[in-house]
């Protein structure tokens, strides 16, 4: 009898253990929590809200959003993807930064998003023919101009680079106190915006692509004279009086405020600044144009500088069983309704053009920029997002030396060439 | 309880009490320190899965790296000027507060001198950025008002002067710290010594030179070394005011470490700079301990 009772107890214990193990196994194979990492601030608030709406639309999936300030995030994400508890979905900038995550094995192919995004938008996260992320905002950079000032001084938006120089000269001649174009390059990416576009216009496309990919022969890397000409154009603008004094001492934010407060007639910046202009008193008082073309330029005309920001999916999703919900979340935030909500909350340009159908309250300039950016066929990316970091660093510090007349365009390009040769050598050695 | 029990426990107990601190030190000091030294012989990125052993290449590269040369030069300048400017100025201010003004006035001046010290460095940095703005800043306006020309490239935009401007701002904030330490030293000098000096016909300057200074010699040494170590490790002012620019002209070792590690992704190289910075600060710390014991 005692033996029977003991056997029964053992059976019950075995059943309990088996049930427990089954539960554990289930929870290990199908994690229902979707971990999303992104930036704090307005976009972070939007994504936290979007994740809640996604949970509601997908019962059984719990979202967990972790937000970090911009500078902190750049480090946190690099450490986070290698940690024991990485995010399933994480915000990351397009081009080289996204490509690096792919190369290091921290991003997976996410399949087909052709229904949601244009081919140009998808190209920002497409590497080796596969899609490793999706942009959720795509800002365009424009030369903004003060409409009232242009009208009062009989000025027109220029159609060529020479005309832009003429506009600067006219402003200086008629109004010495007015700065034609505000430029704050205490952070050198503001000059990188000009050079990225100038390179597209002045260097043949196949040369640029080979140099960027470091696939050109070592002795010809970044030696095309167009690169030097692009840097020289900044000096031409400077000698024509286009910019303010103390370029490298002025912050980008101060230059932006100069334009918003009527202290300069033009300012080249991304569409994220629209909200600043509006809040600082220039609402409906400005218009924009893309950086004009050069005569006999080598690149395609009408190129547009676009800064894209999006999400990538971590390979851990396969182990956790969250791959499908991660991709479903990306599809969810790229629906026109959600994209419109994102634009309303953050004042950023959404990457899905159809969002405009839900943005009837947006300002005319916002809708114009959204249309113009989404229709751009020739896209230019910032050099510091497409080049190897070490090469882009030589460029970035070169810009500051250029406008401070410490180095010539030839000296800067010689340094860029030398660094590119070094990096190419290192990469070849690794392969 | 036997005497043997107590003796045995007296041998064990101190180590037992020290254990939490030792574990803490091992976890948060010894381990990262060892990791930093070991990994300074590797080349790797934050996200790369492979560490490539490169031996002493990182250290050899450092010798020829113009950015490191600039960073090292700026660090040395920071150290020299910290001692040459902050220590004499802080000592004089402390002496004035100690004996040069009435106690009510001393309180007011102390508040004025020490107040920058309690401000956040970020707030101070942003405030000075506004003051030094090349177009609308107060500094340029004042210089113009007295008939001079402000630097055409801007106070923080001119690679030749930017590091000195940063130093001036850092000294403005930390002069209160030096004054505080020296003031504490001066207050410990017995009043009788000053009375004796007065009877011998010494004036305030003679008393300062022959009574105060010799009596605060130890405080001077400690304050100088603390100031030098602080100057060697400076990061925040440079990062906020110029980010190491223009064109790396204001880089210091700490900002260079940050840039190499998190912007250029060269963790091994950043570790090598960290090791050199560590050796320099440990060296100065060692000197401080030696002087303190000697005194």
Q: pLDDT band for A19, please (50, 70, 90 cuts).
A: very low
Same domain for A250 and A177? yes
Assigned domain for A169 exists: yes
- The better pLDDT of the pair A204, B291 is held by A204
Residue A9 has pLDDT above 80, yes or no: no
Query: Over the stretch A237-265, which tens digit does the pLDDT of each residue have?
Result: 999 999 999 999 999 999 999 999 999 99
Count how many domains chain B has.
1
Distance of residue A410 Cα from the nearest chain B Cα, in angstroms: 16
Same domain for A265 and A193? yes
Assigned domain for B26 exists: no
Assigned domain for B187 exists: yes
**HEC secondary structure over chain A:** CHHHHHHHHHHHHHHHHHHHHHHHHHHHHCCCEEEEEEECCHHHHHHHHHHHHHHHHCCCCEEEEEEECHHHHHHHHHHHCCCCCCCCEEEEECCHHHHHHHHCCCCCCCCCCCCCCCHHHHHCCEECCEECCEEEEEEEEEEEEEHHHHHHCCCCCCCEHHHHHHHHHHHHHHCCCCEEEECCCCCCHHHHHHHHHHHHHHCCHHHHHHHHCCCCCHHHCCCCHHHHHHHHHHHHHHHCCCECCCHHHCCHHHHHHHHHCCCEEEEEEEHHHHHHHHHHHHCCCEEEECCCECCCCCCCCCCEEEEEEEEEECCHHHHHCCHHHHHHHHHHHCCHHHHHHHHHHHCCCECCHHHHHHCCCCCHHHHHHHHHHHCCCCEECCHHHHCCHHHHHHHHHHHHHHHCCCCCHHHHHHHHHHHHHHHHHHHHHHC
The rounded mean pLDDT for chain A is 90
Residue B16 has pLDDT above 90, yes or no: no
> Cβ contact (<8 Å) for A263 and B265?
no
Q: pLDDT band for B238, please (50, 70, 90 cuts).
A: very high
Q: pLDDT band for A16, please (50, 70, 90 cuts).
A: very low
Count how many domains chain A has.
2
Q: pLDDT band for B295, please (50, 70, 90 cuts).
A: low
Same domain for A176 and A70? no
Residue B67 has pLDDT above 90, yes or no: yes
> Cβ contact (<8 Å) for A82 and B264?
no
Assigned domain for B279 exists: yes
* Domain assignment of residue B279, given as a range: 54-294
Name the most confidently modeled range: A68-72, A240-244, A297-301.
Answer: A240-244
What CA–CA distances, in Å, run from A202 to A23, A46, A298?
63, 40, 5
* Domain assignment of residue A310, given as a range: 31-137+306-370
Q: Give me the pLDDT at residue A20, please.
A: 44
Kindly give, in sequence order, each residue whose CB lies less than 8 Å from that of residue A288, ignoring residues fewer than 6 positions away: A142, A143, A144, A145, A365, A368, A369
What CA–CA distances, in Å, run from A426 to A390, A422, A429?
12, 6, 5
Percent of chain A residues past pLDDT 70, beyond the cut:
93
> Cβ contact (<8 Å) for A104 and B248?
no
E-state strands within chain B: 42-43, 52-53
Q: Mean of the pLDDT values across residues B140-163?
A: 95
Last residue of a domain, one of A350, A370, A390: A370
Report the residue of chain A nearest B153, measured CA to CA.
A246
Chain B residues with CB under 8 Å of A74 CB are 262
**Cα A67 to the center of its chain, rounded Å:** 18
What CA–CA distances, in Å, run from B264 to A53, A335, B44?
38, 36, 11
Same domain for A220 and A132? no
Distance of residue A75 Cα from the nearest chain B Cα, in angstroms: 6
Same domain for A387 and A285? yes
Q: Give me the pLDDT at residue A75, please.
A: 83
**Cα A50 to the center of its chain, rounded Å:** 21
Assigned domain for A38 exists: yes
Name the most confidently modeled range: A146-160, A356-370, B35-49.
Answer: A146-160
Q: Mean of the pLDDT values across residues A199-226?
A: 96
Q: What is the pTM of this model?
A: 0.86
Q: Mean of the pLDDT values across residues B47-67?
A: 91
Report the residue of chain A nearest B130, measured CA to CA.
A254
d(CA A309, CA A430): 30
SS3 content of chain B, % helix, strand, coil (to 5): 75, 0, 25
Assigned domain for A295 exists: yes
Same domain for A169 and A260? yes
Chain A residues in contact with chain B using a Cβ-Cβ cutoff of 8 Å:
74-75, 78-79, 81-82, 100-101, 104-106, 179, 186-188, 244-251, 254, 258, 263, 389-390, 393, 397-398, 400-401, 404, 406
Coil, helix or strand at residue B111: helix
> Cβ contact (<8 Å) for A105 and B49?
yes
Instruction: Tell me the ipTM for this assembly.
Output: 0.84
Q: Give me the pLDDT at residue A22, please.
A: 41
Assigned domain for A206 exists: yes
The rounded mean pLDDT for chain B is 90
Q: Give me the pLDDT at residue B3, please.
A: 62
Same domain for A270 and A148? yes
Same domain for A210 and A292? yes
> Cβ contact (<8 Å) for B247 and A406?
yes
Q: Give me the pLDDT at residue A18, please.
A: 44
Chain B residues in contact with chain A using a Cβ-Cβ cutoff of 8 Å:
45-49, 129, 132-135, 151-159, 242-243, 245-248, 262-265
d(CA B280, CA B287): 11
Assigned domain for B226 exists: yes
Q: Give me the pLDDT at residue B7, please.
A: 64
Same domain for A291 and A258? yes
Assigned domain for A341 exists: yes
Query: Over the stretch B79-96, which tens digit does the pLDDT of each residue have?
Result: 999 999 999 999 999 999
Q: Mean of the pLDDT values across residues A161-189?
A: 95
Whichever domain contains A191, its CATH number is 3.40.190.10
Same domain for A340 and A199? no
Q: pLDDT band for A15, please (50, 70, 90 cuts).
A: very low
Q: Give me the pLDDT at residue A71, please.
A: 74
What CA–CA distances, in Å, run from B283 to A237, B36, B81, B232?
50, 18, 19, 11
Q: Mean of the pLDDT values across residues B269-289?
A: 91
Kindly give, in sequence order, each residue whose CB lies less than 8 Å from that of residue A70, ignoring residues fewer than 6 positions away: A39, A41
- The better pLDDT of the pair B107, A234 is held by A234
Report the residue of chain A nearest B47, measured CA to CA.
A78
Assigned domain for A9 exists: no
Chain A residues with CB under 8 Å of B262 CB are 74-75, 78
Assigned domain for A152 exists: yes
Residue A39 has pLDDT above 60, yes or no: yes
Same domain for A151 and A96? no
Assigned domain for A343 exists: yes
**Cα B146 to the center of its chain, rounded Å:** 34
> Cβ contact (<8 Å) for A389 and B153?
no
> Cβ contact (<8 Å) for A82 and B47?
yes
Same domain for A145 and A168? yes
Whichever domain contains B266, its CATH number is 1.10.3720.10
> Cβ contact (<8 Å) for A248 and B154?
yes
- The better pLDDT of the pair B286, B144 is held by B144
Q: Give me the pLDDT at residue A13, please.
A: 47
Place of tokens 């174009």: A181
Q: Give me the pLDDT at residue B5, please.
A: 64
Assigned domain for B81 exists: yes
Residue B101 has pLDDT above 60, yes or no: yes
């Amino acid at each position: 009898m005692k033996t029977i009772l003991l056997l029964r107890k053992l059976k019950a214990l075995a059943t309990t253990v088996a049930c427990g193990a089954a539960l554990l196994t289930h929870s290990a194979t199908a994690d229902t929590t979707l971990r999303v990492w992104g930036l704090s601030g307005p976009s972070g608030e939007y994504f936290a809200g979007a994740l809640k709406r996604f949970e509601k639309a997908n019962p059984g999936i719990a979202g967990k959003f972790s937000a970090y300030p911009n500078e902190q995030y750049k480090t946190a994400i690099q450490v986070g993807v290698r940690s024991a508890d990485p995010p399933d979905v994480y915000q990351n900038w397009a081009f080289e930064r996204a490509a690096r995550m792919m190369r290091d094995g921290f991003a997976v192919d996410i399949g087909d998003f052709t229904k949601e995004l244009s081919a140009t938008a998808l190209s920002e996260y497409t590497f080796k023919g596969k899609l490793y992320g999706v942009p959720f905002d795509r800002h365009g950079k424009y030369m903004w101009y003060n409409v009232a000032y242009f009208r009062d001084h009989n000025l027109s938006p220029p159609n060529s680079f020479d005309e832009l120089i003429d506009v600067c000269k006219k402003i200086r001649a008629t109004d010495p106190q007015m700065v034609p174009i505000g430029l704050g390059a205490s952070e050198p990416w503001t000059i990188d915006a000009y050079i990225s576009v100038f390179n597209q216009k002045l260097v043949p496309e196949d040369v640029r692509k080979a140099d960027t990919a470091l696939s050109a022969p070592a002795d010809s890397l970044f030696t095309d004279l167009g690169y030097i000409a692009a840097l020289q154009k900044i000096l031409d603008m400077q000698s024509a009086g286009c910019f303010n004094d103390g370029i490298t001492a002025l912050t980008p934010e101060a230059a932006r405020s100069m334009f918003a407060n009527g202290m300069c007639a033009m300012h080249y910046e991304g569409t994220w600044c629209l909200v600043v202009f509006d809040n600082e008193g220039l609402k409906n008082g400005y218009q924009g144009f893309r950086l004009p073309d050069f005569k006999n330029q080598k690149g395609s005309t009408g190129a547009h500088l676009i800064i894209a920001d999006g999400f990538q999916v971590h390979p851990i999703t396969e182990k956790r069983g969250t791959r499908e919900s991660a991709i479903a979340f990306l599809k969810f935030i790229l629906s026109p309704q959600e994209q419109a909500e994102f634009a309303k909350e953050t004042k950023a340009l959404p990457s899905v053009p159809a969002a405009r159908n839900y943005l009837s309250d947006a300002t005319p300039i916002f809708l114009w920029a959204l249309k113009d950016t989404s229709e751009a066929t020739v896209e230019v990316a910032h050099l510091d997002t497409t080049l190897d970091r070490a090469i882009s660093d030589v460029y970035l510090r070169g810009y500051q030396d250029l406008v401070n007349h410490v180095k010539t365009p030839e000296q800067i390009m010689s340094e860029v060439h030398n660094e590119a040769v070094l990096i190419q050598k290192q990469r070849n050695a690794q392969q | 309880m036997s005497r043997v029990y107590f003796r045995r426990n007296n041998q064990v107990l101190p180590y037992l009490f020290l254990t939490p601190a030792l574990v803490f030190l091992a976890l948060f000091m010894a381990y990262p320190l060892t990791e930093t030294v070991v990994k300074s012989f590797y080349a790797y990125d934050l996200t790369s899965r492979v560490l490539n052993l490169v031996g002493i290449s990182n250290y050899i590269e450092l010798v020829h790296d113009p950015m490191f040369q600039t960073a090292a030069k700026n660090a040395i300048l920071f150290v020299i000027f910290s001692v040459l400017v902050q220590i004499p100025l802080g000592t004089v201010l402390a002496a004035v507060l100690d004996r040069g003004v009435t106690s009510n006035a001393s309180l007011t001046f102390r508040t004025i001198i020490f107040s920058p010290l309690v401000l956040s460095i970020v707030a101070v940095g942003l405030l000075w950025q506004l003051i030094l703005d090349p177009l609308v800043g107060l500094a340029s306006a004042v210089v113009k008002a007295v008939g001079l020309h402000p630097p055409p490239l801007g106070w923080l935009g001119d690679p030749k002067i930017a590091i000195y401007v940063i130093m001036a701002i850092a000294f403005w904030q930390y002069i209160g710290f030096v004054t505080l330490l020296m003031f504490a030293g001066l207050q410990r000098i017995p009043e009788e010594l000053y009375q004796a000096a007065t009877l011998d016909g010494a004036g305030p300057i003679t008393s300062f030179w022959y009574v105060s200074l010799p009596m605060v010699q130890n405080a001077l040494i400690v304050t100088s070394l603390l100031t030098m170590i602080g100057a060697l490790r400076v990061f925040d002012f440079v990062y906020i005011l110029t980010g190491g620019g223009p064109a790396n002209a204001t880089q210091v070792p700490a900002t260079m470490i940050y840039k190499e590690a998190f912007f250029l992704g060269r963790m091994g190289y950043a570790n090598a700079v960290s090791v050199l910075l560590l050796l320099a600060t440990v060296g100065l710390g060692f000197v401080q301990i030696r002087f303190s014991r000697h005194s």
